[in-house]
Chains A and B, each alone.
Chain A
Amino acid sequence: MEASISTAVAAGHSGAAAPPPPGKHGAAVEGSATWRLGDRIGLAICWGLGLLFCAIAVAVALYLFVQGITYLKPAMLTTPAASGFSQSESGGFSDALIGTLMVATLGIVLALPVGIAIAVWLVEYGRPAALARVAESTIEAIAGIPSIVLALFGTVIFSSSALAFLSRSNEGVVFGKSFFAAGAMLSLVALPLIVASVREGLNSIPRHVREASYAVGKTKAATTRRILLPACRPQVATGAVLGLGRIIGDTAIIVVLLGATQNFGPVEGAPFPLDYLRGVGTTLTNFVYEASPTGNLNQPQKAYAAAFVLLIMILILNAIVDLIHRRSRKVGTWSS
């Protein structure tokens, strides 16, 4: 939402230097005084709905900003949650903040290479065609599966004894809840977005550009690696950022596969990063849920503060997407 608004603004700016493409800006609105009544009402409804959605977005953002700035204290970002009866005793949410960063990193590190590989295979190879079609619809299916269902499936996988090294196990019983487990399942949530974005990027490269590379004796692999993937770097980045947004925003998988404890629960005896990664924890989304009036903690002020932090993170991600797109326009592209 935010990204598309700012893109439109950016397009407006560049339009000042060069004449805007016909029919995209301005031209459509000009003559509406002479339109039939029905068309004018239709246009008014479109305008109204557009403004309404802007208003909703602004209201949410503004409300959270006001609440967030009121309740957020820097100490909350650095102190872990503690048990206590009043909001002043229960600490902050540093564990949740770090947890969010951890699942985001894990998820995207897993999803990005796989997503790029799938997209390259679908667009550049796609053979046998039947298998490509199956892969395509599978990915669409994953995109449509609610994350709670994925989470449930994850419990089956990660509780198997073969994957005991990914979580805590006690006398042969595998716990199945860990940052590894949550990160792996969250990568599935991000995967369809990355695949779609990279495919779009690859498809937007004209065929003659590939052929130009083949025509100087380059193989398909070399062409993909040196020409096609660098050319769709903006789309790769967009897919990654959109995927990150999904991962950060997910709650169901966190509750089911991360344990949703208040604090980190590292596995004793494992070497440093592994003890935390194999252990349980929490994220900001889960913290907001727990701290909200429906959750177990019921400390709404901290819920607002955490939600505010979450919102800032998402806004930053949107700004990054926007920046990438503006950058990519500077490099230029082929006429088709």
Chain B
Amino acid sequence: MELLRTPPPIRRLPLPDPEPATEVMAPAGAGFSAARRSIGAPQFSIRRMEVDGVSISYGGKRAVRDVSLPIRQGEVLALIGPSGCGKTTLLRSLNRLTELTATARLEGSIRLDDVDVTLIEPTLLRRRVTMVFQQPNPFPMSVFDNVAYVLREQGSRRARRRTLEPAVHSALQRAGLFDEVKDNLRHPALKLSGGQQQRLCIARALAAEPEVLLLDEPCSALDPQSTQVIEDLIVKLRDDVAVVIVTHNLQQAYRIADHVAFMYLGDLVEYGGATALFGSPREQRTREYVSGAFG
């Protein structure tokens, strides 16, 4: 019964009724030869997070200015924009990782299932909104323990292997890694290949059963083949969790995202359906960025 106590109890609000998919179909984007990986519009989407008038500054320097966005389960939201435009800062504020920087100040509100995130205890929030980083960073322990670490109580080593096994296996399966590592669960995770390490990090993030999954340029350190595997995975995951991905790679955003938010110098310039934003951007700056004029 240890396992039942292990993850802190998460009280979920009754979900709102699914909204109709908001994808606006537009002619395929000019200059985008890549095929969309998420075929067709998502089946349904449920609003999980609400970013409302958020501004973030580091010691007086504005990084994000007055951004409002919905984050929905059932779709992938991509944040794009040139370096230093505040997209990673915005992503990190969603699970309050920005608070690790002493000088960071946040205005506006971010709500998770209609509860302001500042009212949720950070460790609990970060189990509901988990994150995968740019560099694959498995912990220096076995593949199994990497996932089990998330399931165990703070700092505890209790909860036996046998009790945790089903949850660990299912997380690895959801991350599409189980078949590759099922015989090597005791091997050190840092000996996996880069792509496998990153999928292990995704499995770790999924093991907490989050409502929102944040991905901070998860493929930028990987080869094209691993990137493809992870992109497929992300598209598959969107039905169970709301996915927010920061990416530098416009092709990637186009391939996997349902909605795209283009940020420039801290401002949210344009938010819209992926095909619409890439195919017929409303704003001049978006058009220039998407066509490769700056960045």
- Chain A contact residues, CB within 8 Å of chain B: 206, 208-209, 211-219, 221-222, 225-227, 230-231, 331-336
Let me know if B253 is at the binding interface, CB within 8 A.
Answer: no
A267 CA to B188 CA in the complex, in Å? 51
Let me know if B97 is at the binding interface, CB within 8 A.
Answer: yes
Establish whether residues A217 and B190, one from each chain, have CB atoms under 8 Å apart when the complex forms.
no
Partner of B137, one of A206, A219, A222: A206
Known: A212-B201, A230-B141, A332-B191. A218 touches B135 (CB 8 A): no
- Chain B contact residues, CB within 8 Å of chain A: 8, 95, 97, 100, 122-127, 130-131, 133-137, 139-141, 149-150, 154-155, 157, 188, 190-191, 194, 201, 204-205, 207-208, 214, 221
Establish whether residues B100 and A206, one from each chain, have CB atoms under 8 Å apart when the complex forms.
no
Known: A221-B154, A222-B155, A332-B191. A216 touches B127 (CB 8 A): yes
Establish whether residues A225 and B135, one from each chain, have CB atoms under 8 Å apart when the complex forms.
no
Establish whether residues A211 and B149, one from each chain, have CB atoms under 8 Å apart when the complex forms.
no
Most buried by A among B122, B125, B140, B191: B140
Establish whether residues B150 and A211, one from each chain, have CB atoms under 8 Å apart when the complex forms.
no
Known: A217-B123, A226-B155, A227-B140. A208 touches B190 (CB 8 A): no
How far does the Cβ of A285 sit from chain B's closest Cβ, in whole Å? 38
Establish whether residues A219 and B135, one from each chain, have CB atoms under 8 Å apart when the complex forms.
no
How far does the Cβ of B36 sit from chain A's closest Cβ, in whole Å? 29
A336 CA to B137 CA in the complex, in Å? 10
Known: A219-B155, A221-B155. A208 touches B135 (CB 8 A): yes
Partner of B154, one of A206, A218, A331, A333: A218
How far does the Cβ of A63 sit from chain B's closest Cβ, in whole Å? 43
Residue of A nearest to B135 (CB): A208
Establish whether residues B137 and A208, one from each chain, have CB atoms under 8 Å apart when the complex forms.
yes
Of the A-B pairs whose beta carbons lie under 8 Å apart in the complex, a sample of 8, sorted by A's number, is A212-B139, A213-B149, A217-B124, A227-B140, A230-B140, A334-B135, A334-B137, A335-B221
Establish whether residues A217 and B208, one from each chain, have CB atoms under 8 Å apart when the complex forms.
yes
Residue of B nearest to A335 (CB): B135
Establish whether residues A212 and B133, one from each chain, have CB atoms under 8 Å apart when the complex forms.
yes
Known: A215-B130, A218-B154, A331-B190. A336 touches B135 (CB 8 A): yes
Partner of B126, one of A215, A333, A334: A215
On chain B, the residues within 8 Å of A217 by CB distance are: 8, 122-127, 130, 150, 208
On chain B, the residues within 8 Å of A230 by CB distance are: 140-141
Establish whether residues B141 and A212, one from each chain, have CB atoms under 8 Å apart when the complex forms.
no
Partner of A334, one of B127, B131, B149, B190: B190
Partner of A215, one of B136, B191, B205, B207: B205
A216 CA to B206 CA in the complex, in Å? 9
Most buried by B among A212, A222, A334, A336: A212
A336 CA to B134 CA in the complex, in Å? 10
A331 CA to B138 CA in the complex, in Å? 12
A206 CA to B140 CA in the complex, in Å? 12
How far does the Cβ of B55 sit from chain A's closest Cβ, in whole Å? 22
On chain B, the residues within 8 Å of A209 by CB distance are: 137, 139
Given contacts A218-B123, A219-B154, 14 further A-B pairs with CB under 8 A are: A209-B139, A212-B131, A214-B100, A214-B126, A215-B126, A216-B130, A217-B123, A217-B150, A226-B149, A227-B149, A331-B191, A333-B140, A334-B135, A334-B136
Establish whether residues B140 and A331, one from each chain, have CB atoms under 8 Å apart when the complex forms.
yes
A217 CA to B207 CA in the complex, in Å? 12
Partner of B208, one of A208, A216, A332: A216
On chain B, the residues within 8 Å of A334 by CB distance are: 135-137, 190
On chain B, the residues within 8 Å of A215 by CB distance are: 95, 97, 126, 130-131, 133, 205, 214
**3 closest cross-chain pairs (CB), A and B:** A332-B190, A217-B127, A222-B155
Known: A214-B100, A226-B155, A335-B221. A219 touches B205 (CB 8 A): no
On chain B, the residues within 8 Å of A336 by CB distance are: 135
Most buried by B among A209, A216, A227: A216
How far does the Cβ of B138 sit from chain A's closest Cβ, in whole Å? 8
Establish whether residues A216 and B190, one from each chain, have CB atoms under 8 Å apart when the complex forms.
no
Establish whether residues A206 and B139, one from each chain, have CB atoms under 8 Å apart when the complex forms.
no
How far does the Cβ of A71 sit from chain B's closest Cβ, in whole Å? 47
A231 CA to B140 CA in the complex, in Å? 6
On chain A, the residues within 8 Å of B8 by CB distance are: 217
